[in-house]
Amino acid sequence: MFDLSTLNPPQRQAVETIHGPVLILAGAGTGKTRVITHRIAYLLRKGFAPGNILAVTFTNKAAREMQERVRKLIPSGPKRERGKRNKEDRPTICTFHSLCVRILREHIEKLGYKKNFVIYDESEQLGAIKKILANISAKGEKTDPSAVLQMLSKFKNGGERAVGFGDPNVYALAQHVAKRYETALHACNAVDFDDLILLTLRLFREHPNALEACRAKYRYVMADEYQDTNGSQFELIHSLTKVHRNFCVVGDDDQSIYGWRGAEIANLLDLEKHFPEVKIIKLEQNYRSTNTILNAANALIKNNARRRVKTLWSDKGDGNKISLRAFETDEDEAREIVATIEFNRLAKRVTWAQNAILFRTNLQSRPIETALRTAGVRYHLIGGQSFFDRREIRDLIAYLKTFINPHDDISLLRIANTPARGLSDVTMERLLGASHERKESVFATMKNPTVTTTFQTRTREAIETFVELIERNQGELNYRSHHVWLPDAPAPAPTEAELAAPLRHQKPHSLSAWTEVFLNETGYLVDLRRTEKDTEAGDNRVRNLKDFIATMDNAGEPTDSLHDQLQDFLENVTLDSDREDEEDKAGDAVTLITMHSCKGLEFPHVYVVGLEDGLLPHSRSKVEGTLDEERRLFYVAVTRAMLSLTISHCAGRKKYGQVMPCHPSQFLKELPADLIETDAEKSKKPVEATTGKSLFAAMREATQ
């Protein structure tokens, strides 16, 4: 129920200041959502019309949470006849885009659209772009429509940083496509997601009466996460509020980490330029973390020169020191962190769900996921795709499964035209249909001359080449299964047949080496780079493959044949995947999450990995001038921790199967030494009696 006495003084001041412009500087964990929802409830209690109250945020999840909290604070409201309620009976709490849909449904006819306009999803947008590219591209020219779409989105959302570092060829093509794309959508009475705000702003500029109607309706406006607004979102809020000036924005410049997608921190920092009379209220009492964690965060972020000063504090006590750990490699880092999680589970009854591992990029998840799988620890990945679900990994596994069993239709169909080798969807559909008629596998059908002779010469040759690829690699596995030797033993003398064979038959008998050979022969790696929107993305996918391939030689025994090693490897991967699917449904699991995705979340025990120059701060930060944003990203990661925080770095990190040297992040020097505890310092401390007692009890439990 609604009770202002539950708020601290600055929170209460923020709730009760309802007239004029207000900026609530809400530091991490200071209860900003609580303040926003109480502010809405306060306006309702004061008798303001619900229909005049607007609160906008960035995600549907956040909007739903606010709506639910307001309903709990103000459970009943005005009732209509027969118990029905009108939209005007409740405040508008929605995302920026949902707000614009509401406005456009009422006024879009003024812009030449019909009220029943449709909003294109990504697949429909791609379809429109593909049609345009087909008309303007030179014959044989290959372009990635998704890359063009992404660039068009960046054009619309503004921000020089958002478009300044993409592929110049894609940039130029997107400029060429932009006008045709808008014309095509308009002809279909369609808009895309980005158009929603832009069309609303155009409506306001060209039809002041529509703007006045919206201003009259939304007289009390609140905007959440204001530091993440882009130019268009700022203009939308400014247009609605610059006359009545009854608005409240909530944000934290220290948590502005989305500049790369167009967010403009200046919207918050320079608010006084547009509203000189703005009232600024700071929320600094943190309800999440210990003071040790908060003092470290404060010391870190004060190195950013341009910021609104605030100092987080807590009444939760100092807590434990921050653990700083150094490892030789990223695989050592992953194994030791997982070992720590398991020790704490047994000795201190810390559940898996109480732990989170944070990293700068999704590429870092591979050794962590592998270590968790090996230890049998449940986990789920947030804000990214599981390493084992990435396209390139699934493609490789499909290839390997096909070589083991070419009658596996699912795997064969996945890689038949990957990379493109003349086996179009139409061709594969015909082959699949013929295989069903004959009650045989697609591979068997591809070898059936009765079927293949019905195709044109070029297609028939493509089928034959693909069959030969599969059979040749099958032969490689079987051939090598009879030519296995211990790693320390001398290789047997080559036979005459081996000497006369192609060079590939004289390669070392290694599963990873054989895999790299056939991938290069298929042209898959080249195609993988080519089909990505930029060079870095392509390189990352190749790196994923290289790292995955490097783990293959750990399968089976050294004396096993390559065929047997491959079977063991595929079996382990499949079983692990099945386990992961089951465990995703379970609540107790370690959270793996990127730093960009963790904002708004909290965990009792947090592990921040990869604090190395080049990763954090990212190597691009010096070129792009984004060092401050990289520091804010680290600050966000640090402030997710409630009880304990572990930060780690490596002397070497595996890249393309090779361990590359790394150097500790410059940000580590900005953390106060008296708040940090290294492994050497920790080892000198006596073990708590309760820890040994709990661990012994857990071990006894496990053996009974």
The residues annotated with a catalytic role in the active site are 32-33, 224-225, 255, 640
> Residue 94: beta bridge partners?
56
DSSP string, 599-634: TT--EEEEEE---BTBBTTBTTHHHHT-HHHHHHHH
Q: Are 200 and 567 in contact (CB under 8 A)?
A: no
Query: How many helices and strands (H and E) does the chain possess?
Result: 31, 16
Beta-strand runs (E) in 97-224 = 118-119, 190-191, 220-223
Distance from C-alpha of 40 to C-alpha of 223, rounded to nearest angstrom:
12
CA dist 38 → 118, 380, 576 (Å): 36, 33, 46
- Does 10 sit behind a cis peptide bond, omega within 30 degrees of 0 on the bond before it? no
Q: Are 330 and 364 in contact (CB under 8 A)?
A: yes
Distance from C-alpha of 473 to C-alpha of 505, rounded to nearest angstrom:
11
For 444, the 3-state DSSP assignment is: helix
Listed in sequence order, the residues at least 6 apart from 154 whose beta carbon sits closer than 8 Å to its beta carbon are 162, 163, 166, 262
Classify residue 263 by its DSSP letter. Answer: -
Q: Which DSSP helix (H) or strand (E) runs through 638?
A: helix 627-638
- The residue type of 357 is I
Torsion on CA atoms 282, 287, 292, 298, rounded to nearest 10: -20
Classify residue 419 by its DSSP letter. Answer: S
For 516, the 3-state DSSP assignment is: helix
Name residue, tokens 């210990």. Answer: 290
Torsion on CA atoms 672, 673, 674, 677, rounded to nearest 10: 120
Residue 342, Cβ density class (10 Å: 0-12 exposed, 13-18 middle, ≥19 buried): middle
